[in-house]
Amino acid sequence: MDISKLGEFGLIRRLTDDIKPVNVSTVYGVGDDCAVMHYPDKEVLLTTDMLMEGVHFDLTYIDLFHLGYKSAMVNISDIFAMNGTPRQMTVSMALSKRFTVEDMEMFYKGIRAACGKWNVDIVGGDTTSSYTGLAISITCVGEADKADIVYRNGARETDLICVSGDLGAAYMGLQLLEREKSVYYQQVEEAKKKGDRNMLGQLAQFQPDFSGKEYLLQRQLKTEARGDIIHRLREANIRPTAMMDVSDGLSSELLHICSQSHVGCRIFEKNLPIDYQTAVMAEEFNMNVTTCALNGGEDYELLFTVPIGDYDKIEMLDDVRLIGHITKESLGRVLVTRDDNEFDLKAQGWNPLS
């Protein structure tokens, strides 16, 4: 259905009418000039992210459900990265004329699946039009006890550096998708040049074979925020001294923690958690897998530091890897390679403005 049939308010009603808030902190949701929330006993956390078509996502290989899911998850991830609990979300989008009501329903379905997973209430947003493409802006509100909030600036000398899950897979997934896309369009171009309508018909039905690479695609297309790690850290009675989520790449994030905490770091190549599929794919692409793990973005794993006294507790945690330790600032930010060489860590991660 054409969106102009519903107009702005009709579309908003269609997308949000059956939303029922689940959090006591949500006083009033969609439908007024503002959402209203109540946080008498907690600190309020606020984060926002903007995603632009052509820059952050490519609708030739991510569908609108997964785009919605991912857009919500990357914001939820920022709340977890402060050791908080996500509670409310606003969803703004600007759409060009090529999108239908059904498209937006699919996008919202993805948003709501992510919010449902972590009990986040959709409390507002803005729905408007765009000249070209789709622009998404999401804001997430969360809560935390003051004493529980973990900033980037709390890492201290001798702290252990930990990371959840594995690294580089989301980036390899993106490389894979981009390769398939470019191969596909090459074939289409060739078929057009030859006027081969038969071939064009086949290409229209074409689905690339991603078998054996499912994990890479999942990491790129179905982003998950690591709230499970936050819960398990709490259960294990571990309070990180510094934490952030890995969105731009491990190196870049670790340098943020070092510069904001005024410390150095020493991480070990051999300890970096890398999935088997990531390693295989890197080889196929003739890329250095360590570089992918250090600089590939969008893993949305948690990078955190804990006091050295928590060593035994951390060792007991599934899916958390100890990758190094914090040092004096004067010792620099160092990567120790498998063959015991030392390199300065550089942020070569994703920079949208470079």
Q: How far is the CB of 243 from a copy of itself (least distance, A)?
A: 8
Residue 323, H or E segment: strand 320-327
Among 23, 90, 164, 277, binds a copy of itself (CB under 8 A): 90
From the list 41-49, 170-178, 268-276, 286-294, the region that binds a copy of itself by CB under 8 A is: 41-49
Q: CB atoms < 10 A from the CB of 75, how many?
A: 27
Among 55, 183, 316, 331, binds a copy of itself (CB under 8 A): 55
207-226 binders of a copy of itself (CB under 8 A): none
Are the C-beta atoms of residues 74 and 141 closer than 8 Å to each other?
Answer: no
From the list 108-116, 149-157, 163-171, 183-191, the region that binds a copy of itself by CB under 8 A is: 149-157
243-282 binders of a copy of itself (CB under 8 A): 244-245, 260
Q: Is 72 in the site for a copy of itself (CB under 8 A)?
A: no
Q: Which residue in 349, 46, 298 sits closest to 166, CA to CA?
A: 298
322 backbone dihedrals φ, ψ, rounded to 5°:
-85, 120
Q: Which residue in 32, 198, 3 sits closest to 96, CA to CA?
A: 3
Q: Is 54 in the site for a copy of itself (CB under 8 A)?
A: yes
Q: Which is nearer to a copy of itself, 129 or 182 (CB)?
A: 129
**Which residues in 181-203 are b (16+ Cβ under 10 Å) and which e?**
eeeeeebeeebeeeeeeeeeeeb
The reply, when asked if residue 148 is annotated as ligand binding, is no
Q: Which is nearer to a copy of itself, 87 or 325 (CB)?
A: 87
Q: Is 187 in the site for a copy of itself (CB under 8 A)?
A: no
From the list 15-23, 38-46, 61-69, 335-343, the region that binds a copy of itself by CB under 8 A is: 38-46
Q: What is the dihedral of CA 60, 61, 67, 71, to 10 degrees?
A: -100
